[in-house]
Amino acid sequence: MLLSVESRYSSLAMFQCLSRRHELLCRLGGVPALVDLLRLNTDDNVHQLRRLHAVVAAVLCNISQHELIRQSLAAAAASTVLVQLLTSDDAACADDVDVASRAAVIIADVADAGDDQRRAIAQSGGVDALVHLLDSNLEDVLANTINALRVLCSGDVPDIRTAVGAAPGAIPALVEFLSVPSGQLLSPCAILVVYS
């Protein structure tokens, strides 16, 4: 069944209402459906697609801290599409920045599910994509990115810690953030520097 963009937005509004009932959302196959919406790629209306991705990322961001949702995201092989959301074609587009920031939150939650998920994210290019986001000027993007890198490095996966430490610009950026007077950045950054 093909749905119009308006129908998809209506469905997403329902998902937002159901986000408090994440168990039901999982049982009814909502998480794979949301991941499939993130996989949509069309040249027809790029702006509508960006907006759709922004809404889907917001829904997933609101529920990804639940273990059942993490497992569903892992089962839906969401790592690749989440990493793709970290890189935008138009860095000035507010929807893309918002999606990247939320994708970093979701990636941190998925990575927190275990070393297998950390590896899947790293193998999908997650380390490089996250390190690239350290160039952002937005504090919430930086905080979410640093937290995602921290969670990726926190498991028993030394090759990920090595990759973060070896990524061009990662360590200098993290050291710079240690001197920024922001509690939102300082704590996760200090932990990440220790891991790297």
Task: Annotate 58-76 with three-state secondary structure.
Answer: HHHHHHCCCHHHHHHHHHC
At residue 25 the predicted structure's pLDDT band, cuts being 50, 70 and 90, is: confident
Q: Are 22 and 68 in contact (CB under 8 A)?
A: yes
Contact 165, 196 (CB under 8 A): yes
pTM for this predicted structure: 0.82
21 secondary structure, DSSP code: G
Which pLDDT belongs to residue 109?
96
In whole angstroms, what is the distance from residue 114 CA to residue 193 CA? 21
- CA 170 from centre of chain: 18
CATH of the domain at 170: 1.25.10.10
The tally of domains found in the chain comes to: 1
Task: Domain of residue 75: give its range.
Answer: 5-195
Nearest to 142 by CA among 80, 186, 179, 91: 186
pLDDT tens for 73-92 read 999 999 999 999 988 654 44
